[in-house]
Amino acid sequence: MRVAVLKETRSGETRVAATPETVKKYVGMGLDVAVESGAGLASGFIDSAYAEAGATIAADAAAALAGAGIVLAVRAPEAELPRGALLLGTLGADAAAAAAYAAAGVDACSMELLPRITRAQSMDVLSSQANLAGYRAVIEGAGAYDRGFPMMMTAAGTVPAANVFVMGAGVAGLQAIATARRLGGRVSATDVRPAAKEEIKSLGATFVGYEDEESKAAQTAGGYAKQLSAEFYAKQAEVVAAHIAKQDVVVCTALVQGRRAPTLVTAAMVESMKPGSVIVDIAADAGGNCALTQPGEMVVTPNGVKILGFTNWPGRLPAAASALYARNLLTFLSTFWDKDAKAPKLPEDDDIVKGVALTRGGAVVHPLMQPAS
Ligand code: NAD
């Protein structure tokens, strides 16, 4: 069976869905791997490295896809896929896109829908990418900040430590806390899920937040934050507003699954910050946590606050992000692998498969992808 690895076509997408390391493993599983020429270049993986790992280098997407039974991608591919192929990617599909995959006879799996259960941890693309994004957010925040993170006592005087506030303490936020602490920042963080408070404290950061009866039940069964009431968000904003005025770097990571990111930093809060402060908004892909974030841009407000609203944060460390993403896909395929047939076998009743499978055998099977009735 042939596996096609495509060059990503979405603007600004630097990652690739297979690395020479995973290609070698696929070849070992008895697969033929075709890599579109230049697919790994933006991540630092050159064609010859894939060839050495056992792949064939295809001149273009059509050549890579010819006869492919498995297609590996980061984002939804634009090329026409072979009928019957299994597509793995972060497809971000809606009901219409799922219907198109079904009509094209493609079995599409959207890896960002993977359930956050222990058994799926090593295939969890959201976690692997969010962890790197949280790290990178702090590095870029430190780069944009005109002062230092650690307290420095020098003969010329003392440089105070930076006050760093992390909003949202999920996978990205916890890594942001750890990174900011390693750089010497004085770190605080907030979240709405009750479990996050202990995690924040265990990393040596201070918890800042509003808690009430509503926030005690702020977590869904899947581990995500729930959408909370307007009253709760108003109370949270009061606590945050007083704190944010004293912060030098604010890292925003808060998300609510399937919705626009909550607005946690208002224009008035930005105005209260000191000139030279930095807001890094890695929720920008989902609209941003800061009201003044311009997705894809860095803006400087009239009072001198820099807001970094870049999108695709994992793509800002493409080699590491591709390496982890590629391993996530390899683990998924190895887990659902029929050794005798040398082909994937996705059991319909498996919780992981049920979580990611959008289409199967020409039909839309995912409950979230059914057309509105
Ligand atoms: P996410 O990216 O959906 O959200 C980021 C964080 O923002 C979350 O911690 C969320 O609680 C927080 N948030 C939402 N609204 C907020 C608000 N108004 N103010 C402050 N913070 C707010 O989350 P994630 O990083 O994908 O993690 C989701 C959950 O999944 C977590 O509970 C995590 O521990 C869990 N998880 C479990 C596994 C596993 O295998 N068991 C793996 C990865 C993640």
Average model confidence (pLDDT) across the chain: 96
User: What is the residue-wise DSSP string for 210-269?
Assistant: ---HHHHT-B-TTSPBPP--HHHHHHHHHHHHHHHTT-SEEEE----TTSPPP--B-HHH
Compute the distance between CA of residue 67 and CA of residue 357 in angstroms, rounded to an integer.
22
**Which residue's CA lies nearest to atom 23 of ligand 1?**
170
pLDDT in tens, 15-57: 999 999 999 999 999 999 999 999 999 999 999 999 999 999 9
Compute the distance between CA of residue 7 and CA of residue 50 in angstroms, rounded to an integer.
13
Degrees, nearest 5: CA angle 169-174-177: 105
**Which residue's CA lies nearest to atom 37 of ligand 1?**
116
- Report percent pLDDT > 70 for the chain: 100
pLDDT in tens, 129-168: 999 999 999 999 999 999 999 999 999 999 999 999 999 9
Compute the distance between CA of residue 296 and CA of residue 83 in angstroms, rounded to an integer.
35
- Residue 127 bears catalytic tag: yes
**Which residue's CA lies nearest to atom 3 of ligand 1?**
255
- Residue 124 bears catalytic tag: yes
**pLDDT confidence band for 6 (50 / 70 / 90):** very high
- Residue 373 bears catalytic tag: no
Q: SS3 for 367?
A: helix
3-state secondary structure 123-164: HCHHHHHHHHHHHHHHHHHHHHCCCCCCCEEECCEEECCCEE
- The number of CA neighbours under 13 Å toward the Cβ of 264 is 35
Mean pLDDT across the stretch 184-190? 98
Gap from CA of 255 to ligand 1 centroid (Å):
7
pLDDT of residue 373: 62
pLDDT of residue 312: 96
ipTM: 0.95
Tell me the Cα Rg of the chain: 22
Pocket lining: 125 vs ligand 1, CB cutoff 6 Å: no
Q: What residue type is assigned to position 272 of the chain?
A: S
Q: Tell me whether strands 157-159 and 152-154 are parallel, antiparallel or unpaired.
A: antiparallel
pLDDT of residue 280: 98
pLDDT of residue 155: 97
The 8-class DSSP code of residue 17 comes to S
Mean pLDDT across the stretch 70-78? 98
**Which residues belong to CATH 3.40.50.720 in the chain?**
2-113+317-363, 134-316
Residue 63's H or E segment, with its range, is helix 61-65
Compute the distance between CA of residue 187 and CA of residue 197 in angstroms, rounded to an integer.
14
Compute the distance between CA of residue 130 and CA of residue 133 in angstroms, rounded to an integer.
5
**CB of 134 within 8 A of CB of 176?**
yes
pLDDT of residue 215: 84
pLDDT of residue 313: 97
Burial class (CB in 10 A: 0-12, 13-18, 19+), 153: exposed
- Residue 145 bears catalytic tag: no
pLDDT of residue 93: 87
Q: Mean pLDDT lowest for which of 66-70, 189-193, 367-371? A: 367-371
Residue 363's H or E segment, with its range, is strand 363-364
CATH of 134-316, one of 3.40.50.970, 3.10.20.30, 3.40.50.10540, 3.40.50.720: 3.40.50.720
Pocket lining: 36 vs ligand 1, CB cutoff 6 Å: no
**CB of 209 within 8 A of CB of 264?**
no
Task: Kindly give, in sequence order, each residue whose CB lies less than 8 Å from that of residue 307, ignoring residues fewer than 6 positions away.
Answer: 270, 278, 279, 281, 290, 292, 293, 294, 298, 299, 300, 301
**Which residue's CA lies nearest to atom 34 of ligand 1?**
170
pLDDT in tens, 322-372: 999 999 999 999 999 999 999 999 999 999 999 999 999 999 999 999 877
Compute the distance between CA of residue 64 and CA of residue 293 in angstroms, rounded to an integer.
39
**2-113+317-363: which CATH architecture?**
3-Layer(aba) Sandwich (3.40)
pTM above 0.90, yes or no: yes
Statement: residue 71 has pLDDT above 70? yes
Pocket lining: 168 vs ligand 1, CB cutoff 6 Å: yes
Of 132, 129, 146, 135, give the one whose Cα is nearest residue 249.
Answer: 146
Gap from CA of 307 to ligand 1 centroid (Å):
23
Q: Mean pLDDT lowest for which of 219-223, 233-237, 297-301? A: 219-223
Gap from CA of 109 to ligand 1 centroid (Å):
22
Residue tagged active-site, from 10, 48, 119, 121? 121
pLDDT of residue 257: 84
Q: Which atom of ligand 1 is nearest to the CA of 118?
A: 40
At 238, give phi and psi (nearest 5°): -60, -45
